[in-house]
């Protein structure tokens, strides 16, 4: 694994809430060309870790590096502009805007120019083009003018991912994108992730074990805030500690 391909790295991240240790000396590396899955039971610290990577939470200890730069002190918007795209477990779409405007506004973050108060935002070519591209990639180009609140659940998850892609990020932090999606939509999403992995470094937090083992190139298992095992899917599946603690009779 060449260092140049490690696009995001967390070193010895520890986070304490008062007396409780939510994340316990976790290190993780995301390389371009791979889907790195993060699995674990509820309360294992996965969401906390993702929030630390995205910049929403400042860890008690540890370092976060993005594209070889130390971004530990950077707030979330700054990290996002530097190349992180984040999707949430509960969709953070703009329900009252159209699907197109959702993506266009997200894309606007890459080229904000807020002082230009007289020009209509919809005339902005750059954000419109980025939005159209992201929506085409996620298969939503037939519902551009629909109000986002009226989409089906699966379509909302697709839109969430499209908004993630609209800013042209290099690293994707995806928090349960398959939550609540049916088998068809899951297939479509996994196909999309397979396509995206070529030029992105992807962290995938998921509970759907079948999907994880289909798509992941590396898996990290977290229990009680610490890393229990980390490696290729085969190695993780065969790890006796993992089988005992998490996979059960899998």
What does the binding site for another protein look like in residue numbers (CB under 8 A)?
54, 56, 75-78, 80-81, 85-86, 88, 92-97, 101, 105-106, 108-110, 112-122, 124, 163-164, 166-167
State in angstroms the smallest separation of the CB of 33 from another protein: 24
Residues in CB range of 77: below 8 A, 6 or more apart? 55, 109
**Burial bucket for residue 234 (CB in 10 Å: 0-12, 13-18, 19+):** exposed
* Stretch (H or E) spanning 136: helix 125-137
Nearer to another protein, 97 or 213 (CB): 97
User: In terms of Cα–Cα distance, which of 74, 53, 61 is closest to 13?
Assistant: 61
User: In terms of Cα–Cα distance, which of 174, 236, 160, 230 is closest to 202?
Assistant: 174
What counts of helices (H) and strands (E) characterise the chain? 9, 10
State in angstroms the smallest separation of the CB of 58 from another protein: 14
State in angstroms the smallest separation of the CB of 31 from another protein: 22
CB 157, CB 92: distance < 8 Å: no
Sign of the torsion angle spanned by Cα atoms 124, 129, 130, 136: positive
Residues in CB range of 158: below 8 A, 6 or more apart? 138, 139, 140, 185, 188, 189
Nearer to another protein, 159 or 215 (CB): 159
Q: Are strands 35-40 and 201-205 parallel, antiparallel or unpaired?
A: parallel
**Burial bucket for residue 107 (CB in 10 Å: 0-12, 13-18, 19+):** buried
State in angstroms the smallest separation of the CB of 166 from another protein: 7
**Burial bucket for residue 84 (CB in 10 Å: 0-12, 13-18, 19+):** buried
Nearer to another protein, 109 or 245 (CB): 109
State in angstroms the smallest separation of the CB of 8 from another protein: 15
State in angstroms the smallest separation of the CB of 91 from another protein: 9
State in angstroms the smallest separation of the CB of 148 from another protein: 10
Nearer to another protein, 28 or 162 (CB): 162
Nearer to another protein, 108 or 186 (CB): 108
Nearer to another protein, 21 or 105 (CB): 105
Nearer to another protein, 49 or 216 (CB): 49
């Amino acid at each position: 694994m060449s260092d140049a391909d490690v696009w995001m790295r967390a070193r010895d991240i520890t986070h304490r809430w008062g007396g409780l240790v939510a994340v316990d000396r976790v290190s993780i590396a995301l390389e371009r060309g791979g889907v790195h899955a993060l699995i674990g039971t509820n309360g294992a610290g996965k969401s906390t870790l993702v929030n630390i990577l995205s910049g929403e939470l400042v860890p008690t200890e540890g370092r976060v590096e993005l594209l070889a730069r130390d971004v530990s002190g950077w707030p979330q918007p700054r990290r996002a502009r530097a190349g992180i795209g984040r999707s949430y477990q509960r969709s953070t779409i703009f329900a009252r805007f159209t699907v197109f405007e959702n993506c266009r506004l997200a894309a606007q973050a890459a080229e904000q120019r807020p002082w230009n108060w007289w020009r209509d935002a919809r005339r902005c070519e750059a954000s419109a083009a980025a939005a159209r591209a992201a929506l085409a990639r996620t298969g939503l180009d037939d519902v551009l003018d629909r109000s986002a609140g009226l989409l089906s659940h699966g379509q909302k998850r697709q839109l969430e991912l499209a908004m993630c892609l609209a800013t042209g990020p290099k690293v994707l932090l995806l928090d349960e994108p398959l939550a609540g999606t049916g088998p068809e939509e899951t297939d479509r999403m996994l196909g999309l992730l397979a396509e995206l992995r070529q030029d992105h470094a992807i962290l995938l937090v998921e509970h759907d074990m079948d999907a994880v083992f289909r798509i992941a190139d590396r898996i990290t298992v977290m229990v009680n805030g610490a890393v229990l095992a980390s490696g290729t899917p085969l190695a993780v599946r065969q790890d006796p500690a993992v089988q005992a603690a998490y996979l059960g009779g899998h």
